[in-house]
């Protein structure tokens, strides 16, 4: 296949793109009034770990797109897999007793790389759709188990599980809930955010206490009414909340004791981000479901899905009866072909091990040095997923007044200095591609330090 032509000659100027964008394009999660004052950044191409704006400025992508371009940009193998599949069979469905080779092959591959209880996959087009599938399948399972009173799904405050109504109900984002009608039978417990707590407990004690909120909630709701618990192994969009080591084993114990299904939302943590194939492997849980999306294709084409554990799949299959749920693009052939190529590349290049043993520990150790900056209260990272907390004072710990916008200020400096990270309030988060070099890791940290200096000068001026 011919090398892709780089679109270096943009047919329009930046201003023209910005004007058209303003006139016609509504963006996700955006205050458009605010955007129209600032104008959009127009990103027109990318290569490796870098994105380029329409003026040709090079920016190191510390967020892997939106936590998805794990293998970096410009991977010809993924382009070739998509192109070949589009030629062979661009679309066919998996409804009505049909299936196609890419969906079957990918399902088989996913069963191979996941824990032994996972042998079956239900495909969707995105993480949100996958979590809708979870809501539907959890209910179907308990109906088939003749325990229809088990209806309640327990989730966590500040969780992000997507933006469809079901997924956003599962999520714990207050601002989203205020703009929507929520599903019934979803309740939330606190998140294991030690840095955001009063820190009177040690991290280990705090982790246990937060896990036991699940047990308290089960008892409050009534043990016979609880269907499932859902959580991201590390909360991503909520600010890279890394739970203390004591947290997940206790959650697992409680789920086992009360017989409730455990759902691990692996949309960000799946496919190697933490130096293991899945976050459940990293934290040692044995979930009944894993939601995936994003990194399954490194974002080259949209795909999501749910790995369904035998406990549930066996019941669905053995008891029979149609499960009235599915999407036109459940297992789109081209997306599945890209996913197969993507997983095989991760295997061939040993990228999971690279994160566990090489670039992960390297960046983590560099990242930790940010704690020496006067503005950083904590710098944390697992695998290639990290955050640092901007504070006005370390001892006692104090935040800047939220109105000062310290986080967004720092984020804007980062972008202006050629590095993308995200601000969640005053928490700056990063999740760079798995192919990040050591020099690029150094650059992430050096630019972060410099931008913290700039932020400090501006806030203290």
The residues that touch ligand PXG, with contacts defined as CB under 6 A, are 66, 126-128, 131, 160-162, 232, 236-237, 265, 267-268, 293, 304
Beta carbon of residue 319, minimum distance to ligand PXG (angstroms, whole number): 29
103 within 8 A of 83, measured Cβ to Cβ: no
Q: Give me the helices (H) in 50-99, please.
A: 64-67, 76-88
Q: Which is nearer to ligand PXG, 232 or 378 (CB)?
A: 232
C-alpha 10/C-alpha 256 separation (Å) is: 57
Q: Report how far apart the first and last C-alpha atoms of the chain are (Å, whole number).
A: 56
Beta carbon of residue 371, minimum distance to ligand PXG (angstroms, whole number): 23
Q: Which is nearer to ligand PXG, 250 or 265 (CB)?
A: 265
Beta carbon of residue 125, minimum distance to ligand PXG (angstroms, whole number): 8
Within its chain, how far is the Cα of 4 from the centroid? Answer: 29
Q: Which is nearer to ligand PXG, 150 or 161 (CB)?
A: 161
Q: What letter does residue 327 receive in the DSSP assignment?
A: -
Beta carbon of residue 219, minimum distance to ligand PXG (angstroms, whole number): 27
Alpha-carbon dihedral sign for residues 370, 405, 387, 46: negative
Instruction: Name the one residue in this structure whose structure tokens are 């469905």.
Output: 93
120 within 8 A of 307, measured Cβ to Cβ: yes
Q: Which is nearer to ligand PXG, 254 or 267 (CB)?
A: 267
Render the burial of 423-457: b for 16+ CB within 10 Å, e for the rest.
Answer: bbebbbbbbbbbbbeeebbebbbebbeebbebbbe
Beta carbon of residue 95, minimum distance to ligand PXG (angstroms, whole number): 22
The two structure tokens encoding residue 244: 């203390």
Q: Which is nearer to ligand PXG, 128 or 252 (CB)?
A: 128
Q: Which is nearer to ligand PXG, 279 or 309 (CB)?
A: 279
- Which residues, 6 or more positions from 26, have their beta carbon under 8 angstroms from its beta carbon? 32
Q: Which is nearer to ligand PXG, 127 or 333 (CB)?
A: 127
Residue 329: half-sphere exposure toward Cβ, Cα within 13 Å: 14
Q: Which is nearer to ligand PXG, 196 or 361 (CB)?
A: 196
Q: Is 51 exposed, middle or buried (0-12, 13-18, 19+ CB in 10 A)?
A: buried
Q: Which is nearer to ligand PXG, 75 or 156 (CB)?
A: 156
The two structure tokens encoding residue 111: 């069963």
Beta carbon of residue 128, minimum distance to ligand PXG (angstroms, whole number): 3
Beta carbon of residue 326, minimum distance to ligand PXG (angstroms, whole number): 17
Beta carbon of residue 63, minimum distance to ligand PXG (angstroms, whole number): 8
C-alpha 204/C-alpha 250 separation (Å) is: 11
- Which residues, 6 or more positions from 393, have their beta carbon under 8 angstroms from its beta carbon? none
Instruction: Name the one residue in this structure whose structure tokens are 């294709």.
Output: 297
Beta carbon of residue 236, minimum distance to ligand PXG (angstroms, whole number): 5
The two structure tokens encoding residue 460: 């203290």
Beta carbon of residue 163, minimum distance to ligand PXG (angstroms, whole number): 6
Q: Which residue number has the CB closest to ligand PXG?
A: 127
Q: Which is nearer to ligand PXG, 106 or 209 (CB)?
A: 106
Q: In what order do the strands lie in the sheet with 186-189?
A: 118-124, 304-309, 289-292, 261-265, 226-231, 152-156, 186-189
Q: Which is nearer to ligand PXG, 267 or 445 (CB)?
A: 267
- Which run of H or of E encompasses 170? helix 165-170
Over the Cα atoms of the chain, what is R_g? 22
- Tell me the sheet residues that pair with 188: 155
């Amino acid at each position: 296949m011919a090398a892709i032509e780089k679109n270096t000659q943009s047919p329009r100027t930046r201003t023209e793109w910005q004007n058209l964008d303003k006139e016609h394009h509504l963006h996700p999660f955006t205050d458009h009034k605010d955007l129209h004052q600032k104008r959009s950044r127009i990103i027109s191409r990318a290569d490796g770990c870098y994105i380029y704006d329409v003026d040709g400025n090079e920016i190191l992508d510390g967020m892997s797109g939106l936590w998805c371009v794990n293998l970096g940009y410009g991977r010809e193998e993924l382009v070739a897999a998509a192109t070949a599949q589009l030629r062979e069979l661009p679309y066919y469905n998996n409804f009505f007793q049909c299936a196609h080779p890419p969906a079957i092959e990918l399902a088989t591959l996913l069963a191979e790389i996941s824990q032994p209880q996972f042998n079956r996959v239900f495909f969707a087009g995105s993480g949100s759709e996958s979590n809708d599938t979870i809501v539907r399948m959890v209910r179907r399972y308990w109906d088939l188990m003749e325990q229809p009173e088990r209806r309640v799904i327990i989730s966590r405050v500040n969780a992000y599980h997507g933006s469809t109504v079901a997924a956003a109900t599962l999520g714990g984002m207050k601002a989203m809930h205020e703009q929507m009608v929520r599903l019934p039978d979803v309740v939330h417990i606190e998140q294991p955010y030690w840095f955001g707590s009063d820190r009177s407990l040690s991290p280990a004690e705090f982790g246990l206490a937060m896990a036991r909120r699940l047990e308290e909630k089960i008892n409050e709701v009534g043990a016979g009414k609880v269907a499932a618990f859902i959580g991201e192994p590390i909360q991503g969009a909520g600010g890279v909340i890394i739970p203390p080591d004591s947290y997940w084993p206790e959650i697992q114990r409680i789920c086992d004791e009360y017989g409730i299904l455990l759902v691990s939302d692996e949309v960000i943590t799946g496919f190697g981000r933490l130096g293991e194939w899945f976050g459940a492997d990293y934290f040692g849980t044995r979930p009944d479901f894993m939601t995936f999306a994003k990194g399954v294709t490194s974002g080259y084409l949209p795909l999501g899905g749910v790995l369904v554990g035998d406990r549930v799949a066996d019941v669905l299959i053995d008891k029979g009866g149609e499960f009235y749920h599915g999407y036109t693009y459940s297992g789109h052939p081209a997306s599945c072909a890209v996913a197969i190529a993507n997983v095989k590349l991760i295997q061939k290049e040993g990228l999971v091990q690279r994160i566990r043993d090489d670039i992960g520990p390297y960046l983590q150790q560099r990242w930790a040095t940010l704690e020496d900056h006067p503005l950083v209260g904590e710098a944390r990272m697992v695998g290639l997923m990290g955050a640092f907390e901007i504070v006005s004072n370390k001892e006692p710990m104090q935040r800047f007044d939220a109105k000062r916008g310290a986080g967004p200020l720092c984020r804007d400096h980062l972008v202006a200095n050629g590095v993308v990270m995200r601000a969640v309030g005053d928490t700056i988060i990063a999740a760079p591609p798995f192919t990040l070099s050591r020099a690029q890791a150094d650059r992430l940290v050096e630019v972060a330090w410099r931008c913290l200096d700039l932020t400090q000068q501006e806030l203290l001026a």
